Amino acid sequence: MKDKIIIANWKMSLSLDETRKLASEFKQEFDSKKWQNKNGDIVVCPNFISLTEVGKIFKDSCVNLGAQNVFWEEKGSYTSSVSPSMACDAGCRYVLIGHSEVRKYLLENYAMIHKKVKAVLKHDLIPVICIGENWDERKTNKRDFVLVEQLQTSLNSIKLIGDQRVIVAYEPIWAIGSGTAIEPAEAEYAHKIIRLELNNMFGIQTVSNNFRIIYGGSISSDNVASFMELDNIDGSIIGGASLKIEEFSKIAKIILDI
Ligand code: PGA
């Protein structure tokens, strides 16, 4: 069975104090014995202000740290930015790239996303590349085209070295934060399109070994099981439902098969 992955995206939801508290609860829960045989990885992405603090809390823990974004340059006059090596300094293993909220509010585009993917891989961080169509694109049957284009632009000419990993998160924009996930069958279809295009670009073997394709958008403990039974879904990225340890832990149990 393939390793699964569950990513908590805490967005801009918590103060430093609240973040510390929740991170300690995550550590306490997931480092306990009952999680020892879990099938896969847990990642938490707090806001930038909290990264180093949470990095300290998760040191020697099985919970991995992720950044919610990075810039593609290494150092210099890039006010407000954080580089991949700075994310490494804080203890990050993962970086979210191209989240739809960054695309929407900070006008990030896929040319920028491509630069970030390249920079992140250079530092041996694992990029979590977010793709997904908006409601208009879905309504007008453009979803498949949009997904293929987003993959091609963000991963164009990227070469993976050895066992370098890439995670593609399929997040239909209209389902994020809406409280209603899409139909699992629709997610399965979108994931098949993504896998086929990745196979075209990287070859079946590399995709099977190095890529994971996960779903995000209003996942909760009530609906996660119906997604995890599907063949092409390797895990999930979770926003709202990751802010309470009880709810997140229920979801993690189903994804990581505990
Ligand atoms: P949500 O967010 O689970 O609150 O819909 C998911 C995401 O934005 O990654």
pLDDT in tens, 92-105: 999 999 999 999 99
pLDDT, position 73: 98
Pair 234, 209: CB distance under 8 Å: no
Is any atom of ligand 1 closer than 6 Å to the C-beta of 190? no
Pair 54, 44: CB distance under 8 Å: yes
Dist. CA 249–CA 183, nearest whole Å: 23
pLDDT, position 1: 54
pLDDT, position 171: 97
Give per-residue burial for 84-106: e unless 16+ CB within 10 Å, then b. bebbbebbbbbbbbbbbbbbeee
Domain with 207 in it: 4-255
pLDDT, position 218: 96
Question: Measured in angstroms, how far is the CA atom of residue 41 from the centroid of ligand 1?
Answer: 18
**What tens digit of pLDDT does each residue of 196-222 get?**
999 999 999 999 999 999 999 999 999
Low-confidence ranges of the chain (pLDDT < 50): none
Q: Is 99 annotated in the active site?
A: yes
| CATH number assigned to the domain comprising residue 87 | 3.20.20.70
Q: In the chain, how many domains are there? A: 1
Question: Measured in angstroms, how far is the CA atom of residue 77 from the centroid of ligand 1?
Answer: 32
Dist. CA 5–CA 33, nearest whole Å: 19
Q: In the structure encoding, which two tokens stand for residue 163, read together?
A: 């066992």
Is any atom of ligand 1 closer than 6 Å to the C-beta of 237? yes
Residue found by looking up tokens 């990885």 in the block? 41
Is any atom of ligand 1 closer than 6 Å to the C-beta of 84? no
Residue ranges in 156-212 assigned as alpha helix (H):
184-202, 204-210
Question: Measured in angstroms, how far is the CA atom of residue 162 from the centroid of ligand 1?
Answer: 31
Is any atom of ligand 1 closer than 6 Å to the C-beta of 100? no
Residue of 101, 137, 171, 197 with catalytic role: 171
Closest residue by Cα to atom 2, ligand 1, is: 239
pTM of the complete model beyond 0.95: yes
Question: What are the beta bridge partners of residue 216?
Answer: 237
Q: Is 18 annotated in the active site?
A: no
Question: Measured in angstroms, how far is the CA atom of residue 218 from the centroid of ligand 1?
Answer: 6
